[in-house]
Amino acid sequence: MKNFEVLGKQDTRSGFGAGLLELGQKNNQVVALCADLTGSLKMNAFEDAYPDRFFQIGIAEANMMGIAAGLTIGGKIPFTGTFANFSTGRVYDQIRQSIAYSNKNVKICASHAGLTLGEDGATHQILEDIGLMKMLPGMTVINPCDYNQTKAATLAIADHVGPVYLRFGRPKVATFIPENQAFIIGKALLLNEGTDVSIFATGHMVWKAIEAGQVLASKGISAEIINIHTIKPLDEEAVLASVAKTKCVVTAEEHQLAGGLGESIAQLLARKTPAPIEFVAVNDSFGESGTPDQLMTKYGLDAINIIEAVEKVIARVDKQFV
Amino acid sequence: MSDNKQLINLCTQIRRDIVRMVAAVSSGHPGGSLGCVEYFVALYQSVMHTKQPFDMNGKDEDLFFLSNGHISPVFYSTLARSGYFPVKELNTFRKINSRLQGHPTTHEGLPGIRIASGSLGQGLSVAIGAAQAKKLNNDSSIIYSLHGDGELQEGQIWEAAMYAAGNNIDNIISTVDYNGKQIDGSLEDVLSLGNLKMKWEAFGWKALEIENGNDLNQVIDGLNLAKSLTGKGQPIVILMKTEMGNGVDYMMGTHKWHGSAPNAEQLESALNQLNETLGDY
């Protein structure tokens, strides 16, 4: 198992803020909109540096999505910022009609996704957003894993023409992706080569997959760990190549099982090459108040859950082939 | 098309197009379409400065957004007869493989359409965004938008109204098709808008009125007055009273033709009331 150096502990939303600020300087067509959560989204630096290109919308997310769609008419590249819950479920029809169906070049940037939002509780902990957004035709869905990858993804989506959903989070987590590593939309990132199982992880679960991989290695299990930062379009080639080698799969995401990354991979495998698969995800449940760590443990999103899923899925392969 | 007689002939021809389009597919929304004919003709033939060929970004030209997308027949006929696409394409309205979807969309690449609409209440926000892009681009053109009165029951309209006034968006002229009717009945019966002019004024808009939105001169004058008031720090709304179904006797004075198409006999009756002035598609 490859060794991953922890470069620091940072929140992915700060990676977004840093990327947005850099974009402000690089691309004068980039504009930013926020619905009264500028501090939480780390958009202050952009606001301070480029006040003419920053739009404070107030607590009116539906209006924000419409204004963003309108700003594209005239060549602007709008980045909207609010919590993931208010970036998706609350404004789904606005996104569907005014952005996705209208094919507007809007970047929907969503912080505080998933359980790790923590104490605010289930009203704010959206676990359905990946599913909602990946169902929209033409929508690109990205969930980067750490500060550096979130920053790189923020820069990359400005150059992609078309609507994008960029999902990130609130807590400080391990930064381990090298600074300035190029972000290629739709290209899975192979983190560790292995032979016994393929672990496909997205977002905050990528680091947990690495932690799980280290424990598995000590048990003699060689895990291939692949970072699926782009859930849509899915890098089918990378997934199929890995599964051809390992014959079994574990997926890991901070999201409902229904509609998430695991579902996308299961669908692909069912079509192309059926293989045993186990899912580490939230199982048809809302979250609740608590610290991020407590919540990840209670809802089965820890490294231990990945390890157990790997052992289970490998046992299923053995049964099939013995 | 410069003098008034020609524009009135165009209005009549557009009305023929509308009833023929909806009758051909036994679906669509003739009532509101017929009520807004003069507005569309005024906008595209007299008031707006537009450029051809169609460009999505619309640099240095006025832009129009239809928020109540169900009145697509009047929009399509006006666009076709203003040179955006061939008039004969009106024949494809609501049919399979058409660019003329039931509700307008950019998805099929129809020239003249800049946003999909149909799900109500979204167009004002989009228009405001386009207005802000104009300002960022130092483009002094004007953004126009049209809204149904029933559509104002959607909350997003008022989010947008609050935002536009709060941010001094003064390059937008929004018009409300104030016909007093929606699918289920009169606005008063379904959900009253109360004092609509006072509502817009309370939200910080300059509110104008057009008493008869089916009088072409009144509409042109009203829009030109609104235009003269742009650039003064305030968004402008026009409450334009129209008659749903205007031009077809049996469609007037009722909400019943909001979303139903005439049958063959009814179509014949409608066409007998509307002379073929410029040639049918």
Neighbours of A19 (CB within 10 A): 28
| Chosen from B59, B106, B115 to mutate, greatest number of chain A CBs within 10 A | B115
Q: What is the pLDDT of residue B166?
A: 98
**A306: confidence class by pLDDT, cuts 50, 70, 90:** very high
- Nearest Cα neighbor of A229 from A156, A304, A296, A306 is A156
Task: Judge residue A186's burial from the number of C-beta atoms within 10 Å of its C-beta, 0-12 exposed, 13-18 middle, 19 or more buried.
Answer: middle
- Rounded Cα–Cα distance for residues A13 and A41 (Å): 6
CA distances from B47 to B53, B63, B143 (A): 18, 11, 12
Mean pLDDT score, A174-178: 98
Q: Nearest-CA distance from B169 to chain A in Å?
A: 12
What ipTM goes with this model?
0.97
Measure CB to CB from residue A97 to each of B56, B116, B167 and give the nearest one: B116
Mean pLDDT score, B247-259: 95
Q: Nearest-CA distance from A182 to chain B in Å?
A: 31
Q: What is the tens place of the pLDDT at every residue in A181-209?
A: 999 999 999 999 999 999 999 999 999 99
Tell me if B114 sits within 8 A of B65, measured CB to CB: yes
Q: Is residue B111 part of a domain?
A: yes
DSSP per-residue string spanning A266-321: HHHHHHH----EEEEEE-S----SS-HHHHHHHTT-SHHHHHHHHHHHHHHHHHHH
pLDDT of residue B3 exceeding 90, the answer is no
Mean pLDDT score, A75-102: 98
**A322: confidence class by pLDDT, cuts 50, 70, 90:** very low
A73 touches chain B (CB under 8 A): yes
Q: What is the tens place of the pLDDT at every residue in B59-118?
A: 999 999 999 999 999 999 999 999 999 999 999 999 999 999 999 999 999 999 999 999
Tell me if A95 sits within 8 A of A262, measured CB to CB: no
| Chosen from B159, B169, B203 to mutate, greatest number of chain A CBs within 10 A | B159
Overall number of domains in chain B:
1
The amino acid occupying position A96 is: R
Structural domain harbouring B114: 4-272
pLDDT of residue A29 exceeding 70, the answer is yes
The fraction of chain B above a pLDDT of 90, given in percent, is 98
Q: What is the pLDDT of residue A319?
A: 74
**B250: confidence class by pLDDT, cuts 50, 70, 90:** very high
pLDDT of residue B1 exceeding 50, the answer is no
- Rounded Cα–Cα distance for residues B66 and B113 (Å): 9
Q: Nearest-CA distance from B131 to chain A in Å?
A: 8
Q: What's the longest Cα–Cα distance across chain A?
A: 67
Residues of A in contact with B121 (CB under 8 A): 62
Mean pLDDT score, A48-57: 98
Residues of A in contact with B116 (CB under 8 A): 97-98, 101-102
Q: Nearest-CA distance from B54 to chain A in Å?
A: 13
Mean pLDDT score, A161-177: 98
Sign for the pseudo-dihedral over CA of A66, A71, A76, A80: negative
| Chosen from A27, A36, A59, A102 to mutate, greatest number of chain B CBs within 10 A | A102
The gap between the terminal CA atoms of chain A, to the nearest Å, is 27
Mean pLDDT score, B3-27: 96
Contact A70 B163 (CB under 8 A): no
Q: Nearest-CA distance from A93 to chain B in Å?
A: 8
Q: What is the pLDDT of residue A318?
A: 72
Mean pLDDT score, A111-117: 98
Q: Which residues contact A318 (CB under 8 A, 6 or more apart)?
A: none
A60: nearest CA in chain B? B159
Q: Which domains does chain A have, with CATH numbers?
A: 10-173 (3.40.50.970), 189-321 (3.40.50.920)
Residues of B in contact with A68 (CB under 8 A): 129
Strands in chain A per DSSP E: 8-11, 30-34, 54-56, 77-83, 107-111, 140-142, 164-167, 172-175, 189-192, 197-201, 223-227, 230-232, 249-256, 277-282
Count of alpha carbons within 13 angstroms of residue B239, beta-carbon side: 18
pLDDT of residue B179 exceeding 90, the answer is yes
Q: What is the pLDDT of residue A180?
A: 87
Count of alpha carbons within 13 angstroms of residue B244, beta-carbon side: 27
- Rounded Cα–Cα distance for residues A56 and A5 (Å): 39
| Chosen from A73, A82, A93 to mutate, greatest number of chain B CBs within 10 A | A73
The fraction of chain B above a pLDDT of 70, given in percent, is 99
Q: What is the tens place of the pLDDT at every residue in A120-144?
A: 999 999 999 999 999 999 999 999 9
Measure CB to CB from residue A73 to each of B119, B130, B156 and give the nearest one: B130
Measure CB to CB from residue A76 to each of B119, B133, B167 and give the nearest one: B133
Q: What is the pLDDT of residue A172?
A: 98
The amino acid occupying position A117 is: L
**Summary mean pLDDT of chain A:** 97
Q: Which residues contact B40 (CB under 8 A, 6 or more apart)?
A: B14, B74, B75, B78
**Summary mean pLDDT of chain B:** 97
A5 touches chain B (CB under 8 A): no
Torsion angle of alpha carbons B263, B264, B266, B269, nearest 10°? 160
Q: Which residues contact B42 (CB under 8 A, 6 or more apart)?
A: B7, B216, B219, B220, B223
Mean pLDDT score, B241-255: 96
Return contacts of A50-59, CB within 8 angstroms, 24+ apart: A50/A24, A52/B136, A53/A24, A53/A28, A53/B136, A55/A31, A55/B132, A55/B167, A57/A33, A57/B163, A58/B159, A58/B162, A58/B163, A58/B166, A59/A35
Measure CB to CB from residue B127 to each of A60, A70, A94 and give the nearest one: A70
Please name the helix (run of DSSP H) or strand (run of DSSP E) that holds residue A264, with its range, or none.
helix A261-272
Q: Is residue B233 part of a domain?
A: yes
Q: Nearest-CA distance from A29 to chain B in Å?
A: 9
Tell me if B128 sits within 8 A of B163, measured CB to CB: yes
Q: For strand A197-201 and strand A249-256, is the pairing parallel, antiparallel, or unpaired?
A: parallel
Q: What is the CATH number of the domain that holds B40?
A: 3.40.50.970
Q: What is the tens place of the pLDDT at every residue in A205-250?
A: 999 999 999 999 999 999 999 999 999 999 999 999 999 999 999 9
The amino acid occupying position B227 is: K
Q: Is residue B121 part of a domain?
A: yes
pLDDT of residue A321 exceeding 90, the answer is no
A65 touches chain B (CB under 8 A): yes
Mean pLDDT score, A165-180: 97
